[in-house]
Amino acid sequence: MKIIWTFSLLMIPGVLSSISVTGYSGGGVIITCRYEGKYTANEKYFCKEETLTCSDLIKTGIKNQWFKSGGFSLYDNTSTAVFTVILKDLSEQDSGMYKCGVDKSKSPDSYTKVNLNVVTAADCCEKSISLSAAAGGSVNISCRYPQSHSADVKFVCRRSGSDLCAEETSVKESRRWSAEGQMQLYDDREQQLLTGIISHVTQHSAEYWCGVQSDQGHKSFITQVLINVTGTDDFLTHINRSNSKSQLGSIQQITVFCVD
């Protein structure tokens, strides 16, 4: 029945494809939508279908940089003919049918149908975790995920300001460590458990998210990880003093060299 439904949708003029995305209450999703390359100059939009209309949630003609409106963000990558939409702070009421659309002034719009299903993963996964770490040290995190995502790529990313995912590390294989920057990840697919080690933490506090990425490139953020870093002021003072001594030593060496 699903195959017939999808095929029927693609027979409707303007429909390029149909995708399904699972989001988690309190988290967010990143949705990628392809369009025909000849429409790179057109405005792109993301709307939610109502009874007879599709109400725009975000719409822009800005290219190759993020455009933000309310709780939504859109990035139109004209080199790949793909635009990306970010939805944050999801609730179950956000479930429904959406459209990733290309605005055409002289012909019907072309769009991708998006079936967003927002669920609460209380049976398997924590919504939020709070941890503490010493400045300059490391912290271990553990995030469970639904069994339905066992084969998907897992990731942990740090949130910075209004950006949902500023720095990201991912792991694509089960029971094999993956390292990038200050983070190491390990995915045990039999236990549905993602483990991470974040080293050299220096910020007063930081917000990370554990999530999954589908084979279509869509990302779902499941568990929020809040890290409170203790002793940050003393640690930064020590670093600054060390840097000052290093710079003073360099100046002294230069002074002696000039006298000679």
Report pTM.
0.80
pLDDT, one tens digit per residue, over 196-252 is 999 988 767 889 999 999 988 899 999 999 999 987 545 444 444 544 444 444 434
Sheet holding 44-49, edge to edge: 15-24, 110-119, 96-102, 44-49, 54-60
pLDDT at 117: 96
Side by side, the strands of the sheet bearing 178-180 are 138-144, 193-199, 183-188, 178-180
Contact 185/194 with Cβ under 8 angstroms?
A: yes
pLDDT reported for residue 135: 87
Check if the beta carbon of residue 81 is closer than 8 Å to that of residue 34. Answer: yes
Helix (H, G, I), strand (E, B) or coil at 176: coil
Q: Model confidence over 169-202: pLDDT tens digits? A: 999 999 999 998 889 999 999 999 999 999 988 7
Say how far apart CA 205 and CA 133 lie, in whole Å: 9
CA angle 124, 128, 130 (to 5 degrees): 125
Condensed to tens digits (0 to 9), the pLDDT of residues 61-103 reads: 999 999 999 889 999 999 999 999 999 999 999 999 999 999 9
Query: pLDDT digit string (tens) for 7-47?
Result: 444 445 566 778 999 999 999 999 999 999 999 999 999 99
What pLDDT does residue 4 have? 40
